[in-house]
Amino acid sequence: MSLTGIFPALITPYDADGAVSPAINRRLVSTLNAEGADGYFVSGSSAECYLLDTRERMEILEATVEAAEGRPVIFHVAATDHRSTLEHARRAADAGASAVCANIPTFFTYSDQSLAAYYRDIREHTELPLLAYYIPSQTGRLLTADFFLDLAADGTLQGMKYTSSDLGILSRIRASRPDSFTILAGSDDTLLGALAHGANGGIGSSYNLICGVYAGIYRAFGAGDLEEARRLQSVSIAVLEEMGGWEFISFLKSVLRSRGLDTGQARTPMSPIPSELDDQLAGKLAAKTELEPYLISPV
């Protein structure tokens, strides 16, 4: 199955009691299907992955696969303990995932050799394609193009989620692996630039709100309509500028709630946005007239 195009990095919906809600998740996915999603990224940063246990992560994966209507689903498997990471990798295929992805372990500092061994260990526990998740702004760990290319050469990695504004590394990886390595851009504000450097598509958090914008960027770029692609990237940046003043998951949930899709509050220790501010925040976005046609319309 091809991992190309636009993959919303799904938030995790909760019910009124704070339990994960597969039903609300299915509604979110059905809405994003209609707004141009080509696939889904489950249990990543936007999903509060490190605040979910294995049962919750598997429930959301299964609900996403059910609602995706055949679209590929990438399952982020990394956990705070390595045994859980491997368990997620082992169970992903049976739950219907199309590929798995893993961030590097955080908190401790690991050598490149240790991190390579980490990915090789995950590789041994799944038959699915394995993507690295590169997000140095969160891990504090810079890795080189050669690190990923070596793991691609020995068959450990089949691709990566590239969440960095340094497009030089992405460009070098693509030049060395022109056809056989999937690169999905993870920085929403530089999707167009990443596509120009050879990315196969994008994964992003604000896709939950304006999936049609990113689908439009991807399709306009593919059609050679750079003027339209640039216009839509500027629309995305306008949303990201508003989001920058808040904890981003709480922002996403607030706007979704005001648009008619209540996904609950983000889990502690993230700060919720008071419900009385929901409409005010959504109103600020709607006041940007270029945004209104693209904001999510829940089914």
Residues making up the binding site for pyruvate? 203
Rg over alpha carbons for the chain, rounded to the nearest Å, is 18
Q: Is the dihedral of CA 183, 84, 136, 155 positive or negative?
A: negative
Active site residue 14: no
Give the active site residue among 161, 207, 218, 294: 161
DSSP state letter for 189 = G
Binding residues: 203
Token code pair at residue 44 = 């990543």
Give the active site residue among 14, 40, 119, 133: 133
Q: Is the dihedral of CA 140, 145, 150, 151 positive or negative?
A: positive
CA atoms within 13 A on the CB side of 274: 3
Token code pair at residue 191 = 């999707």
Q: What is the Cα 229 distance to its own chain's centre? A: 20
Give phi and psi for 101, each to the nearest 5: -140, 150
The count of other CB atoms within 10 Å of the CB of residue 35 is 23
Active site residue 253: no
Contact (Cβ atoms closer than 8 angstroms) between residue 12 and residue 47? yes
DSSP state letter for 185 = E
Contact (Cβ atoms closer than 8 angstroms) between residue 27 and residue 21? no
Catalytic residues: 133, 161
